[in-house]
Amino acid sequence: MNKKIAVLPGDGIGPEVTAVAVNALQRVAEKFNHTFTFEEGLVGACAIDATGNPFPEETLHLCQSADAILFGAIGHPKYDNDPTAPVRPEQGLLAMRKALGLFANIRPVNTFKVLADASPLKREIVEGVDFVVFRELTGGSYFGAKGRSEDRNSAYDTCTYTRDEIARITELAFTAAAKRRKKVTLVDKANVMETSRLWREVVQQYAANFPDIELELMFVDNAAMALIQNPRRFDVILTENMFGDILTDEASVITGSLGMLPSASVGSKVALYEPIHGSYPQAAGKNIANPMAAVLSAATLLETSFDLMAEGQALRNAVEEALNNGFVTVDINPTHHLGTREVGEKICSFV
């Protein structure tokens, strides 16, 4: 198979973990006789530094011409405490999601046996957790009208959703549930928000056609609690943009390390794969970041965009083998750890 992969390393630890994922993909290509070509582009703070634009036109074209996108992370502390910055790295990510029509962010949460004691939750709560969050990614208050009043003493972020925006991600969530444990939990705030009531209407209508899939309705505050008390109860969580942003960060700590979780953003055409951990600027350039989430993102890329299931599994097995043999970074083992590159070499050797 011949494929072109756009590589957007981004900021912070993005370049280090992405480099490992690219090596791992190369290794897979050699082993399974594929040709993957990699082309790099700028996004985020590094793109602002180089071009003034957090998502340059050139990067957009690169993404549109690729068969899949491998993304690292964006963000830089110099923008975090400056509410007046005219351009921000995050705008690059949001513009990219919108421009590429990436309307669904898929974040699986499952546990690794050897990490059960690394979770802040008790082993008996964490063991066997296996759910996936479908977060709407191009609507809601992230993209609604926002601004200030003339005297600048009031501000607003409008949350809007259309039936179509809700329906298309609902379809993806139900399709996933049909192949899993056949349960969808719609998370909303329908006791307060009109948009949530529209979500309920659309999702309930859709669910009526799938009687073998259980639809559960849950308020977001209650879901925040249930994720900690009994995360095993979830199979597929379906939710809007902002709720999904918050709940997926919460969900990520269940596994014991934020450095283990991949994600996929999908839409109409090309899909994007990224670790969920963000740019972690304090660790940038130190060769300490965990590359496993990036490699698992690459595995998801192979499976989802190229339908290369055995190849994806080979990467997953390699990560598992490194993990089980203690070839891990400091976030997983503070006393016996390797660096990002060294863990990467081990993973590649296990492919």
Q: Under the criterion CB under 6 A, does residue 250 sit at the interface with ligand IPM?
A: no
189 in catalytic set: yes
With tokens 């139900």, the residue in question is: 174
Please pick, from the candidates 40, 90, 250, 320, the single residue that binds ligand IPM as defined by CB under 6 A.
90
Residue 90's binding partner among ligand IPM, Mn ion, none (Cβ under 5 to 8 angstroms by kind) is ligand IPM
Backbone CA torsion sign across 24, 38, 12, 297 = negative
Q: Which is nearer to ligand IPM, 125 or 258 (CB)?
A: 258
Residues of span 36-75 touching ligand IPM by CB under 6 A:
75
Q: Give residues with Cβ within 8 angstroms of 70, minimum separation 6.
A: 5, 6, 7, 8, 18, 21, 22, 25, 272, 273, 274, 294, 297, 298, 301
Residues of span 92-121 touching ligand IPM by CB under 6 A:
93
CA distance 20 to 297: 11
Q: Which is nearer to Mn ion, 130 or 245 (CB)?
A: 245
Residue 93's binding partner among Mn ion, ligand IPM, none (Cβ under 5 to 8 angstroms by kind) is ligand IPM
**E strands within the chain?**
2-10, 35-40, 68-73, 104-110, 130-136, 146-148, 155-157, 183-188, 214-219, 236-239, 262-266, 272-275
183 in catalytic set: no
Residue 319's binding partner among ligand IPM, Mn ion, none (Cβ under 5 to 8 angstroms by kind) is none
117 in catalytic set: no
How far is Cα of residue 129 from the mean position of the Cα atoms in its chain? 18
130 in catalytic set: no
Residues of span 141-170 touching Mn ion by CB under 5 A:
none
Please pick, from the candidates 90, 216, 245, 320, the single residue that binds Mn ion as defined by CB under 5 A.
245
Strand (E) or helix (H) holding 300: helix 292-305
Shortest approach of ligand IPM to residue 194 CB, angstroms? Answer: 22
Active-site residue numbers? 142, 189, 221, 245, 249
Q: Which residues bind ligand IPM (CB under 6 A)?
A: 75, 90, 93, 245
